[in-house]
Structure formats: C-alpha cells, structure tokens
Structure 1
Amino acid sequence: MSSLPASTHKHSPPPVNLHALRASCSACSMHQLCLPMGLDQGDMQRLEQVINRRRKVKRDETLYRLNDKFDMLYAIRLGHFKTFQHNPNGGQQITGFQMAGELLGMDAIGAGHHLCEAVALEDSEVCEIPFASLEDLFRDMPTLLRQFHRMMSLEISREQRVMLTLGSMTAQQKMAAFLLNLSSRYMSRGYSSTRFQLRMTREEIGNYLGLAVESVSRLLTNFKKSGVIEVNHRDVELCDLPTLRAVALGNDPCA
C-alpha cells in the first residue's frame, strides 16, 4: 500500500491516445452507467478528450485521502472500492462500497476537498476525469449535464435510503438488505444477480452495517442453514430471493 497521499502522485500522465480512449468509452461494458450514456458520437469524442488517462489502483492502495484537494472525478472501470471516514477513536467508519460503473469523488464537489478516503478492495482501474474540464463541457452539452445531475441525484437518494433503513433494521434485516443491494447492482451491470463474490471482508461488512464481525458470520451461517443462501468463504449464491426480500422487510417466513 502506498504511504504517500494521493495528492502527491504528481508524475506526468502518458500522452493521450484518443483511439484507445474512444474504444475504452464506447466499448466499455459500464458506459450505460457512466457519463457517456445518451451522448452522440461527436459529444462522446469531446468527452474522451477530457479524460486524462486510465489509472490502475492496486488492492489496498489509496485513491484519495481525507482533505485532499478536489480536482478529479474517478469513474470506476474495473474493480471495487470502499470509502470511509475516521471515527474519534482513530478507526475507520465505512460509508460505502463502490463498484464498476460508479463515480468516486462527487462528495468533494461542494467543499473543494475530499470528505472521506477511497481505497481499492482489489486490483482496480479508474478513468480520471478533471472536473474543471468537465464543467466546461457541461455548458455546451446539456445531455451530459443532465446525466451528471441524474447520477448525483441517484447517489444522494441511495445514501439517504441507507441511512433511514439501516438505522431502524434488525441485524437480520440489515444483512438481507445488504445482499439484495449487491444483487441489484450486479444485475444492472449485466452480471449474475444471484451468484457473486463478496469483495469486502466480514469485518468490513460489519463495520458498514454496524454489526460485530461475529454477528455477520452468524447471520450468513443462519441464512445458509435455512436454505436462503449458499456461502463458501467469499462466494455467495442467493438461492431464495423472495424469502430474502421478506426478511429485509421484517416479514421473516422462517421465524
């Protein structure tokens, strides 16, 4: 893991290869979830010229740190990340898990500096988007601006739902809702909605949900015993989605 703040990585980017960038945006499996959605070919080319480069981020490497100056958005092309803040005891409070097709850094737009830290959960890759250049495009490309507003609105709504629901849920409901959330997000990306791998550890899941790691392990084991899921280390299969949804709503048919 790099010991340097993300803001200190100031080496010159490689020369921009527009053909490679065009292929990466236009052919990227995530483009319907990212900024290029709905753009015509001319607008797509203008956006591709703004993208600095694709950046590889190793597992456990920091993409940006708390209070780093904001000048870049990051579109996740491959991999998974976690975002977190530091609690008064010096530990981490995980605020979210992000995956391919999502933007990182939007929380810093208003403040001008990052309000949390972002770390890769596995070897990942992001597209760097200088925000000042993106703002210039917004003035000429209303479709791009609408898409950006849509993404910000969805992110705000998602965070509000998480805050409202997790705070009033039982431990069992939290775990069911967490698995269903991952299921729907993977499905929207063209992946299986019932078979996936947990990229985060049991400890990280517990931190995010406000549960002890022992509770996370016990809940997964109980779901497995009841036939709702199959789990083998980080590999998960959701065997009974209707029951899992009922549990998340507090209507546990197995109780």
Structure 2
Amino acid sequence: MVNTISHIHCQNCSMAPLCLPKNLSEGDMARLDTIIQRHKPLHKKDLLVTADAPLRYLYAVRSGSLKSYTLDDHGVEQIIDFHLPGDLVGFDALATGRHRSFTQALETTMLCEIPLNSLDDLSAEMPVLRRELMSMMSSELYTSKQLLGSLNNRAADARLAHFLLGLSQRFADRGLSGKSFRLSMTRADIGNYIGLSVETISRILSRLQHENVLLVENKLVEILAMDRLERLAG
C-alpha cells in the first residue's frame, strides 16, 4: 500500500480537475507536486484534525469522504460540512492558524497533505495557484451561505431535497452518476447538518419513494424524477 501511495502524483490523479492543479500548466503542476505529501489512509471514524489544533497542512481528499463538526459546551455535535474527493480541508483554520472544527472520516479515505508554509511560498511565485486557492475558498463560502439560505423558512422536505440535489451535483462534477449514488453519511448526520430529526428524514424519504421521486435502498439513492425533486427544493 505504501508503494502505491508514493507513486500517486497530481499529473495522474483523477481528482486533479477539481483540486488545486485544475488550471495549472504541466510545469506548475509538477512544482506543486514536489511539496505534496501522501497521507496514510484514514479508516471510518478516524480523526484527521481536532478543534484548536495548529494549522500545518491543507488536506486534499483523493478518495472517500469526511465530515467536519464542532462541539458545544455540552459536547453536542453540530456538523458543518461534508468533504468529497477533490475538496480541500482546513480553510476554516486560515484566519486564526488553528482548526475550528473536528474532521472525521466517514469511510476509508485517502488524502494528500499540502504543507501550508510551502504552499504559501509557492503561491507567491505562481499567481495561477494563488487564484485557485482564492477560488476554492470562495466556493466553500458560497456553499455555506447556500446552506443557510436553504434552512431559512424552508419546509423539511425542501431542506432534504436541496441537500440531495447538492450531493447529486457534486457527484456529477466528479464524473460520477448524479442520479444514482451511495450516501456515506448516516441519516443522523444528514439530519444534524440540515436541522431535521432522523424520523423526519425517514418519513420524507419513504414518501418520495412512494411518489416515485426517489428509489432508496439502505444507503443507495436513485433520483427517478429530477425535475420534481428540483421543484420540491424550490
């Protein structure tokens, strides 16, 4: 496994079109690749980072998925993001130099470590790389605002529809099916993220399946009527 990981480079990574190298030239991509380290695999429930830990790396997700969450004073978890292949983890720590949340693997996950100091030096020499960083941070901020907008004054079924459509688009962006996909997160995780109970999510999924909008089997979801799901999401 170690030898396999060491031979993975930006130039032959299937996630490169979504990750930092997406608009870099071959030469610039090779320079970026020299600072990237391959992280050992994380297994389900392994922690990648903890809240208040110093920021040393950004992490690019190669495969698998993770969730980021905070804990309140009573130890209650609030999920703030799900990370899929091509995403960068660690932007929340850039302002203070310390991670503001915990990040945990939802399944076996492969990552690339990008040392922040080296990335900062390299981006100063490569304006395209700096623009990509800014673009990815902007996209993450926009997605967070979209989530807040989807929760405000929306019915429960619209929240869940919005979440499923968002996942559908993210899978499609990765060259996967946007109509049939597997949920790596639990229904409890989804409910925590969009502010619904597990019971409410199960009830909505059952109704949408009865209405032939979705086909749900355990963690497998197939969207049968995309237009109806879009109307439901508003």
Give the structure-1-normalised TM-score. 0.88
Q: CA separation in 2, counterparts of 1:149 and 1:170?
A: 34
The aligned counterpart of 2:203 is 218
Q: Residue in 2 aligned with 1:235? A: 220
Give the alignment of 1:186-201 within 5 angstroms: 186-201=171-186
Deviations 1:193-252 (A, max 9, x none): 000011111111111111111001101101100000000010100000000000001xxx
Give the number of the structure whose alpha-carbon radius of gyration is greater.
Answer: 1
Asked if structure 1 preserves the Cα contact closer than 8 Å seen for 2:69 and 2:103, the reply is yes
Q: CA deviation at 1:108?
A: 0.2
Hey, what's the Cα distance between the residues in 2 that align with 1:38 and 1:164?
Answer: 30
Structure 1: distance between partners of 2:153 and 2:33: 43
1:25 alignment partner in structure 2: 10
Alignment equivalent of 2:157, drawn from 169, 172, 177: 172
The offset of 1:149, in angstroms, is 0.6
TM-score (norm 2): 0.96
Unpaired runs of 5+ in structure 2? Answer: none
- Deviation at 1:37? 1.1
Cα shift at 1:160:
0.9
Partner of 2:113: 128
Instruction: Report sequence identity in percent.
Output: 38
1:247 is matched with which residue?
232
Contact 1:55/1:128 (<8 A) preserved: no
Q: Which residue of 1 aligns with 2:62?
A: 77
The residue aligned with 2:101 is 116
Gaps of 5+ in 1: 1-13, 250-255
Residue in structure 2 matching 1:206, options 164, 188, 191: 191
Q: Over the residues paired in the alignment, what is the CA RMSD in angstroms?
A: 1.5
Q: Distance in 2 between matches of 1:52 and 1:45?
A: 13
Aligned length: 232
* 1:46 to partner: Cα distance: 1.0
For residues 128-161 of structure 1, give each alpha carbon's deviation from its aligned partner in whole angstroms, at most 9, with x where no partner exists.
Answer: 0001100000111011111111111111111011
Deviation at 1:91, TM superposition (A): 1.6
SS in 2 for 1:37: helix
Runs of 4+ in 1 over 6 A off after TM superposition: none
